[in-house]
Amino acid sequence: MNSRRIFTRPARFAAIPPYVWMALFFLVPFGFVLKISLSHTAITQPPYTPLFDFTAGASAIANALAALSLDNFRLLISDNLYVFSYLRSLVVAAVSTSILLLIGYPIAYGMARLPQRWQAVAMMLVIVPFWTSFLIRVYAWINILQHDGLLNRILLALHLVSAPVVWLSTDSAMYLGIVYSYLPFMILPLYATLTKMDPALEEAAADLGASPLRVFWLVTFPLSLPGVGAGVLLCFIPILGEFVIPDLLAGSNSLMIGQTLWLEFFTNRDWPVASAVATVLLILLLAPLLLYDRLQRRQLEA
């Protein structure tokens, strides 16, 4: 008991290097995003004005401050392009997360019911694709879904279609890619919660006469809710800002917000508008992020 206490002080000092690093490379940059979102584009290097030159004196700084404006945010609200992009992202994220939950839950449940030795194998099998390159897995689907790809050839061979179907550059391909890439993120938190559940509770419900469906709905599912919450947030938040998958698999008539940000930054070279897009996205994500943080703390420190 006594020696446990001796550990806490040195352990706290261990926090200092990562703390400094994250403060510098994670928190401080958000300040820059905010500042640039209030700036204007310019054909300079860097491509925005005003520039804060701290050696130029107080009046120069005051002038620079006065030049900041909310113009970019007004643009975001007034131009339908951005509003639709945010809405589309919310819809895609919500739909993808629901599909992920519907598919991931049975898989996690099956894993949790395996005999002990097989569970470690199953977990490895689920994690391995996650370690395999994300980009490669999306590309693997492009391979299969292209006009003369494997899927069309199988469908034609089985006479399920009479002509090759266009799969790529559609929303279906995008959803497929998203679900495929994020499945381990949904399965693992669910599995972690389901393994910790006491089987006696389900057995008791069954003994009292409940059908398997009722056992699931009244006992299993409510008990697995922390895992469901973690999995849902672990998927919803990053999917909202996704870029690679919609860019490679979806059509180009409607963009998700990650694509819009990329476009503004790389194609239009409009850093201020890109920063404004990022700021609004962050504000949208604030509530889910805080919720996720609370869940994460409870999970890891329980």
Interacting residues with another protein between 230 and 289 (CB under 8 A): 233-234, 237-238, 240-244, 248, 258, 261-262, 265-266, 271, 274-275, 278, 281-282, 285, 289
Q: How many residues bind another protein (CB under 8 A)?
A: 105
The residue to which tokens 């926090």 are assigned: 15
Instruction: Name residues contacting another protein, limited to 82-101 (CB under 8 A).
Output: none
Query: Among 41, 49, 119, 170, which residue sits at the site for another protein (rule: CB under 8 A)?
Result: 119
Contact flag: residue 33 with another protein (CB under 8 A): yes
Which amino acid is present at 149? G
Query: Among 197, 210, 226, 254, which residue sits at the site for another protein (rule: CB under 8 A)?
Result: 197
The CB-of-135 to another protein minimum distance in angstroms stands at 5
Q: At what angle do helices 171-195 and 225-240 cross, to 10 degrees?
A: 150
Nearest to 90 by CA among 288, 297, 295, 271: 288
Query: Among 62, 81, 128, 218, which residue sits at the site for another protein (rule: CB under 8 A)?
Result: 128
Contact flag: residue 160 with another protein (CB under 8 A): no
CB atoms within 10 A of CB 95: 15
In the complex with another protein, which residue's Cβ is closer, 79 or 139?
Answer: 139
**Maximum CA pair distance of the chain?**
80
Query: What is the DSSP annotation of 163-175?
Result: S----TTSHHHHH
Contact flag: residue 159 with another protein (CB under 8 A): no
Q: Which stretch binds another protein (CB under 8 A): 60-68, 72-80, 131-139?
A: 131-139
Query: Among 22, 67, 225, 286, which residue sits at the site for another protein (rule: CB under 8 A)?
Result: 22
The CB-of-66 to another protein minimum distance in angstroms stands at 20
Which amino acid is present at 240? L
Residues 6+ apart with CB under 8 A from 192: 227, 299
147 three-state secondary structure: coil
